[in-house]
Copies of this chain bind each other. A is one copy, B any other.
Amino acid sequence: MHYLNEEHLLVFLGQVLVLLTVAKVLGELCQQRGIPALAGEIFTGILLGPTILGRVFPGIEARLFPHDIAQQTMLETVSWFGVLFLLLATGFEISISTVWKQGKAALTMGVVGIVAPFILGCVLFWWLPERHWGEASDRVTFTLFLATAASISAIPVIARILHDLEILKSDFGLTTLSAFIVNDVVGWLGFTMVLGLAHPHGAGASEVARILFEILLFGTVCMTVGSKVVGAINGKLQATNLPQPGTTLTFICCLGLMCGTITQWIGIHAILGFFLAGIMAGNAPEVSEKTRQTISQVIHAIFVPVFFATIGIKIDFLANVDFFLVLLVTAVAVGGKFIGGWIGARVAGLSKPDILSAAVARIPGGAMEIVLGILALELQLISDDVFVALVFAAIASSVAAGPLLAWSIRRRKRLDIGQLLSRDAVVLEMGSETRWDAIQELCRRVAAALPELDQKAIEKAVRAREEIMGTGLERGVAVPHARLKGLESPVVAFGRSRVGIDWDARDGLPTRFVFLILTPEDEQGIQVQILAAIARIMSGAEVPARLIAAQNEDEAFGLLNEALNLGGLVPNRAPA
């Protein structure tokens, strides 16, 4: 029987308190400056660990993080909890059906986007000297792993950036996110293979083949039968009298633990199992959004910051910094992904300005690169200095992506968006009560002014897009849209609902302002500008307030026309 003594508990509580508080404060300071919170969280460890505190006040650092096995294990356990459930929560974001409906474009962008940096990485990392390998590694394993890590993307980072730029809901945003999902799945498969190769239990060819076979089988079962079984069980749990959402929480937690145990047992890391469990739970419609949010909130509020902060406690970042290595890894991670994103978007047939934005969006490595890095470090596939370079690349790319993407949109030519809105396409008192009725109501208005198009066809296209992913933004704005064959120039319609319509928006608010955006089929770029312009004018307090107060269609039309003209941006071609 083993009990931790009181000193252990005191130090442990102190550690978690300090790490969590500092990580949250620094993370928040970063986020307010447009930098991902991850950067602040990683810096917490650098600040409190051997790198800075250990140099300046070695006594305090030794007292706060003593070298005692039981003590280190306690913090390590919390940090494991963080990373395992981070992957579970990341899995929630992966919507298989969205990717499926997006089809070829997302698939092409996703696969090309990871293959290009991977090849570049393999070519360059092959020549790195042996001292950078981990103790249990060889040239092939090391090269393959590092190239994979440099190619993987961070879905949460890019989702947040697209959201901040208010273009997450555009077709561009949808395609980009879908491509990222493909990228992640391919990346994890690749990582799995590398792990299979590197497995310590006598890495014979038959052993590698067994691991690969088992993990592919398990993954396939999860993605097909698994999702349905999870949904069915959850439906059953909810139909009973058990207290909700507690029971669902326990169920999802057990699901993660089970998949994690299975993948760990197979010989791949438990982290992949949690990721698969997250995808299953995320794709089961029976698991309510609220339950997923509860899990995500607690994980991100408590465990994830502690995990990232702990990284810097383990490694002296100054002693292990190798500038050549940092430059090389960052160049491959950023440059390789940029090239991959460029080629992928080109092959997928995106418009010229969108290709640049898509390439920039591919850059961030974020949490996923670091997670892969820490796994590789733990399995002794890489040395400390390679890990430090990887962390630097992950953070630098995440920090740079936001401003670069904003710039790629800003540099497009200005467009007089106000002129796209016609006086007849403004409805002040919408009668619709559902979003589908509202779409129909606005489509009917627009169709009257577009004799070249069939009203039914317009409506069908907008509904189809809406079904793939809802277009409700926050603060009561919705932006249903579609690209239409035969349409000559973009058209915008506006409708106001006094009662508010349930558009399934993330913030739960009823939608009071509906903008219908129709663009020509081959001009994808323009949609991003229109959407961004609308989001921008509606994000302030003034325009919505004046729209609510508008007494008649003329007033609303004049107001929107003026505001949109000031906020408009345009692609590199002449305005249509």
- Pairwise interchain contact A301-B76, C-beta atoms closer than 8 A: no
**A12 CB contacts on chain B under 8 angstroms:** 77, 80
Contact B73 A301 (CB under 8 A): no
Contact with B along A203-228 (1 / 0, CB 8 A): 00000000000000000000000000
Residue in B254, B264, B314 whose beta carbon sits within 8 Å of that of A20 in the complex: B254
**CB closest residue in chain B, given A76:** B4
Q: Produce 1/0 per residue, A441-474, CB < 8 A to B.
A: 0000000000000000000000000000000000
- Whether B378 contacts A17 by the Cβ 8 Å rule is no
Query: Could you say which residues of chain B place their CB within 8 Å of the CB of A72?
Result: 2
Check: A512 CB closer than 8 A to any chain B CB.
no
A contact face: mostly helix, strand, loop, or mixed: helix
Contacts of A67 in B (CB 8 A): 2
Tell me which residues across on chain B come within 8 A of A16, comparing CB atoms: 257
Chain B CB within 8 A of A297 CB:
yes
- Nearest CB of chain B from residue A76's CB, rounded to whole Å: 6
The answer to whether A20 touches B250, judged by C-beta atoms less than 8 angstroms apart, is yes
Closest beta carbon of chain B to A552's beta carbon, Å: 33
A249 and B73 in contact, given A20-B254, A80-B9 (Cβ under 8 angstroms): no
Q: How many copies does the complex hold?
A: 2
Q: Contact: B254 with A17, CB < 8 Å?
A: yes
Expressed in whole angstroms, the Cα–Cα distance for A1 and B384 within the complex equals 11
CB-CB nearest in chain B for A306 = B253
> Which B residues lie within 8 Å of A260 (CB)?
13
Give the A interface residue count (CB, 8 A).
56
| A565: interface (CB < 8 Å) | no
- Chain B residues lying within 8 Å of A416, measured Cβ to Cβ, are none
The reply on A6 being an interface residue by CB < 8 A is yes
A258, B78: Cβ atoms closer than 8 Å: no
Contacts of A548 in B (CB 8 A): none
With both chains docked as a complex, state the minimum distance between the C-beta of A541 and any C-beta of chain B, in angstroms.
14
A10 to B84, CA, bound (A): 12
B-binding residues in A (CB < 8 A): 1-4, 6, 9-10, 12-14, 16-17, 20-21, 24, 28, 67, 69-70, 72-74, 76-78, 80-81, 242, 245-247, 249-250, 253-254, 257-258, 260-261, 264-265, 269-270, 294-295, 297-298, 300-302, 305, 314-315, 377-379
